[in-house]
Structure 1
Amino acid sequence: MAIQAAASPAPRKLRLRDLLEDRRAALMLALGFSSGLPLLLVLGTFTLRLAFSEIDVKSIGLFSYVALPYSLKFLWAPVVDRTDVPLLGRLLGRRRAWMVTTQLAVAACLVLMAFADPATNLWLLGLGAFLVAFCAATQDVVIDGWRIDAAGSDFQGILAATSNLGYRFGLVAAGAGALFIAAETGWRFAYLSMAALMAIGLVAALLAPPFDEARRTRAASEPEGPPRSRLWSVRRAILEPLTELHGRLGHALWAILLLVALYRMPDFVSGVMASPLYKDVGYGLTEIAAVSKLYGIWVGIAGGFAGGWAMQRLGMFRGLLIGAFLCAASNLSFSWLAMGAPEVWRLIVAISIDNFCGSFAGILLIAYMSSLTTPGYAATQYALFSSLYALPGKLAAGLSGFVVAAYGYPVFFLLTALVGIPVVLLCLAVGRPKPKADGAAELEALARNPSAGTEISSTGSQGATQGT
Structure 2
Amino acid sequence: MATNSPVTRSPAAVVLAVGGLYVAQSVIGGITWAGLPAVMRDRGMALDEVGLLSLIALPWALKFLWAPMVERFRLPPAGRNRSAVIVAIGGGISVLGLGVVGLIGPGLLGPVLACLTIIALAAATVDIACDGYAVEALPRKQHGWANAAQVGGAYLGSAIGGGLFLIIVAAYGWSVSVWSMAALLVLLGVPFLLRSRAYAAAETRTHVPSLASALRRPEIRRGLLAAALYVIAQKTAMIMIGPFLIDAGLDLAAMGLINGAGSMFVGLAAALVGGALVRVLGARAVLVIALVLQAGALLFFAASGLFPDIPNWALATVAVASSSGIMALGFVALYAQFMHWSDPRQGGVDFTLFQSMDALVSMGGGVGAGYVAQHLGYGIFFAGAGVIALATIPAIAVVAGRSVARETGRIETTRPAALAQIGENP
Do both proteins adopt the same fold according to a TM-score greater than 0.5, normalized to the shorter chain?
A: yes
Q: Paired residue for 2:276, among 301, 309, 313?
A: 309
C-alpha distance in structure 1 between counterparts of 2:309 and 2:120, whole Å: 35
Q: Does 1:319 align with 2:307?
A: no
Q: Paired residue for 1:117, among 78, 101, 105?
A: 105
State the 4+ residue runs in structure 1 displaced beyond 6 angstroms.
Answer: 89-92
Assess if the C-alpha contact under 8 Å between 2:151 and 2:271 holds in 1: no
Residue 286 of structure 1 deviates from its aligned partner by: 0.9
Change (3 A) 1:253 1:203: closer
Gaps of 5+ in 2: 1-9
The residue that corresponds to 1:280 in the other structure is 247
Q: Paired residue for 1:425, among 360, 376, 394?
A: 394
The residue that corresponds to 1:382 in the other structure is 351
AA partner of residue 317 (structure 2): V
Residue 194 of structure 1 deviates from its aligned partner by: 0.5
The residue that corresponds to 1:162 in the other structure is 149
Assess if the C-alpha contact under 8 Å between 2:34 and 2:161 holds in 1: no
Length-normalised TM-score, structure 2: 0.88
Query: Deviation string for 1:80-104 (max 9, x for gaps)?
Result: 1112599xx9997322211111111
- 3-state SS of 1:377 partner: helix
Q: Does 1:103 align with 2:91?
A: yes
The residue that corresponds to 1:10 in the other structure is none
Residue 30 of structure 1 deviates from its aligned partner by: 1.5
Assess if the C-alpha contact under 8 Å between 1:367 and 1:446 holds in 2: no
Query: Deviation string for 1:118-177 (max 9, x for gaps)?
Result: 43x331111111112111111212211112222233211111012211222211111211
C-alpha distance in structure 1 between counterparts of 2:103 and 2:384, whole Å: 37
RMSD across aligned C-alpha pairs, in angstroms? Answer: 2.9
C-alpha distance in structure 2 between counterparts of 1:92 and 1:64, whole Å: 37
Percent of matched pairs sharing the same residue: 23
Number of equivalences: 412
The residue that corresponds to 1:11 in the other structure is none
C-alpha distance in structure 1 between counterparts of 2:300 and 2:407, whole Å: 32
Change (3 A) 1:91 1:347: farther
Q: Following superposition of structure 1 onto structure 2, how do residues 67-466 of structure 1 map, counting pairs within 5 Å?
A: 67-83=57-73, 93-119=81-107, 121-209=108-196, 213=201, 216-219=203-206, 237-243=210-216, 246=217, 251-337=218-304, 339-340=307-308, 343-354=311-322, 355-430=324-399, 432=401, 443-445=404-406, 448-450=409-411, 452-453=412-413, 455-459=414-418, 464-466=420-422
AA partner of residue 164 (structure 2): G
Change (3 A) 1:85 1:110: farther
Assess if the C-alpha contact under 8 Å between 2:132 and 2:348 holds in 1: yes
Change (3 A) 1:398 1:371: same
Query: Deviation string for 1:46-82 (max 9, x for gaps)?
Result: 2122212221111111232122222221122112111
The residue that corresponds to 2:6 in the other structure is none
Assess if the C-alpha contact under 8 Å between 2:83 and 2:196 holds in 1: no
C-alpha distance in structure 2 between counterparts of 1:129 and 1:32, whole Å: 18
Residue 433 of structure 1 deviates from its aligned partner by: 7.2
Residue 407 of structure 1 deviates from its aligned partner by: 1.9
- 3-state SS of 1:283 partner: coil
Give the stretch that moved more between structures: 280-289 or 161-170.
161-170
Gaps of 5+ in 1: 1-19, 223-232, 435-442
